Structure 1
């Protein structure tokens, strides 16, 4: 399915999975998906990745290596349920101060509830806003993280420019996203599971197959690793690189604002 992927020239703005939609229509469709799956989003991440998303997220936060000192500020975008933010707070020995931003209020509601139960209320705030128009001043954060969310943003280039704007000099950008499998045979096995197993499991667990069909298709539309790295560089970042996880099923892109 790699032939479906968009290039650095764009195309995600009007791509709703394999469907082409009108300009400006995608965001509402994506919002509807996440309103439907919010309560079972983390369970379905286990289903979609065979539980590997937990290992990948731990690796992402280990790469960030947040300092154990007050004043470290991070922004986790499209992080509504709090999975990455909780890990960063824990890794910073509860010294990090985070803002969890999501355009979807249902996802944020789940995250805020989980944060209260974990006792992270003093470390985190939850903000409903658009990744393409961040409501923060320039040079506000030491780190910007986004996990499995950038492909759902219609204008990825604009979101990357916003990430660059709100980071301080020396700030770190980390993006974890499903990507292109680069190991023969594994790619075919992964395709078979994705297009047949995941929507069926979504129907069984969450009562909805269609949202998971979109999520699977959106993975196949997202730019290849090297193309996405070029987009990050185009936004102004330096020292851009990526690490494949599990043969490229996911990839962690890293960059710095220098």
Structure 2
């Protein structure tokens, strides 16, 4: 058996197109994001042609933080604060966002961006999506943008999302999906596998991390399968909608009790 391969008692996990031991994936994902943390937001602009901003705005429009009453929001795998700051800008002065990420390098970038802004309305917490260091029934909404596919045990992360939401709270996940338009799918594949790693090499000095990120998109479940996983975790009224020809999808579910 090669080092890192799953053993007979380990179902393993996908790290891009490679199959690795379940316990190994998190460390390798951490290394990817340590490598790209300082250039992460710039790379998102370059890779998506700025479309990630539109997608995140759509996500936040579904959060709908109120202007007049307290609102507790949790953004998981959101280290650089990109989604959190949008929620804070959309909400009122009693909106508070907790940004949770397992990677301290990403959180450091977010904390630096937030410095001197938002007057104590945001905090940054180091934690694992599979075992959130947060109390149950606490948050009005939970978001995770482009992070769930990097979690080794997605089912555990979804169960934790349900646990920390208040009854009536909403789960929202923005993630890459399956392109469903003829021709666009072939263009998208060519761009993903040939152009994105080159951009990563030139801008972030790391082609391999971006090759992994592209591969991880292809290994992520289809929207229908992922919706089934959300329902299995105990969330209800589960829906999804695709954007930009299926490049991404926003998944929604509610904690009803």
For normalisation by structure 1, the TM-score amounts to 0.93
Give how far 1:23 is off: 2.1
For normalisation by structure 2, the TM-score amounts to 0.94
Q: How does 1:50-69 map to 2 (within 5 A)?
A: 50-69=49-68
Give how far 1:121 is off: 4.5
Would the alpha carbon gap of residues 101 and 14 (structure 1) be closer, same or farther in structure 2, given more than 3 Å must change? Answer: same
C-alpha RMSD of matched pairs (Å): 1.3
Moved over 3 A (4+): none
> Which stretch has the larger CA shift, 38-47 or 93-102?
93-102
Match of 2:45 in 1: 46
Match of 2:112 in 1: 113
Match of 1:188 in 2: 186
The reply to whether residue 139 of structure 1 matches residue 137 of structure 2 is yes
Q: How does 1:226-237 map to 2 (within 5 A)?
A: 226-237=224-235
**What is the rounded CA distance, in whole Å, between the counterparts of 2:85 and 2:187 in structure 1?**
32
**What is the rounded CA distance, in whole Å, between the counterparts of 2:92 and 2:114 in structure 1?**
15
Match of 1:28 in 2: 27
Give how far 1:48 is off: 2.0
Please give the secondary structure, in 2, of the residue aligned with 1:25: helix
Alpha-carbon displacement from aligned partner over 1:111-157 (angstroms, at most 9, x marks no partner):
0000115x124110000000000011110111000000000000000
- Consecutive unaligned residues in structure 1, runs of 5 or more: 1-10
Please give the secondary structure, in 1, of the residue aligned with 2:158: helix
Alpha-carbon displacement from aligned partner over 1:49-93 (angstroms, at most 9, x marks no partner):
121000000011011111113421010000000000000000003
**What is the rounded CA distance, in whole Å, between the counterparts of 2:66 and 2:38 in structure 1?**
32
Match of 2:4 in 1: none
* Count, aligned residues: 247
The answer to whether the 8 Å contact 1:12/1:151 transfers is: no
